[in-house]
Amino acid sequence: MKRLEAHVKEKHAGPPPPKKKKLCPVCGEEVNDLVQHSKTHKLYDERKFVCVLCDKKFETQYALRRHKFNVHSNEKPIQCELCGKNFKTESNMKDHHKHIHVNGKVYQCGSCPRNFIQRFYYEKHLVNKHGIVTQLLEYGPDEQELKLEGTAATS
């Protein structure tokens, strides 16, 4: 066992040697993973599924469908149960729910139906749209409240 430990210390000490890059025979680029890189050279004309809206080609029917939905569709079939906002994907709706309904503090304008996630944009809206200047009041290290001054903003 001592001989193995001595061997490891002597022969394998220090950082591992850098991986040797391989030269791509098609484009001449030096790459770490030649197999993965070779997939980028797949001929564009070999892709059978063509988008009729932009002529982009895809290897699979699924990839074409996903492209059409993400790029060319305005459809938003997923609806937030709490506020009714629509989203393209379940993932987008979950992000919205997490940031708005769970973690997010919503600043609601008292003069119009607009809501804001960030205080900065809320205050900017109040000044630009309603001429209301706000003042941040500090009550403690974690408690803050906006006080509407009710004064018109001056340019």
For 112, which DSSP code?
A: S
Q: Please check whether residue 131 lies inside any domain of the structure.
A: yes
Nearest-angstrom CA–CA distance, 152 and 130:
8
> In the numeric block, which tokens belong to residue 83?
């506020």
Q: Is 28 left (phi over 0), alpha (psi -120 to 50) or beta?
A: left
CATH of the domain at 67: 3.30.160
From residue 50, alpha-carbon distances to 46, 54, 64 in Å are 11, 8, 7
Domain that includes residue 61, residue range = 43-73
20, part of any domain = no
Mean pLDDT within 103-113: 78
- Is 9 among the domain residues? no
pLDDT digit string (tens) for 74-100? 999 999 888 889 999 999 998 888 777
Q: What is the pLDDT of residues 35-51, one digit of tens each?
A: 888 777 765 556 688 99
Q: How many domains does the chain have?
A: 3
Which pLDDT score, from 0 to 100, does residue 1 have?
74
The tokens describing 116, both together, are 């804001």
The answer to whether 104 and 85 are in contact (CB under 8 A) is no
Please, which pLDDT band fits residue 105 given cuts at 50, 70 and 90? low
Percent of the chain exceeding pLDDT 70 equals 80
11 domain-assigned? no
Residue 30 lies in a domain: no
How many Cα atoms occupy the beta-carbon half-sphere of 51 within 13 Å?
Answer: 18
Token look-up 């770490």 returns: 32
User: Does 139 reside within a domain?
Assistant: yes
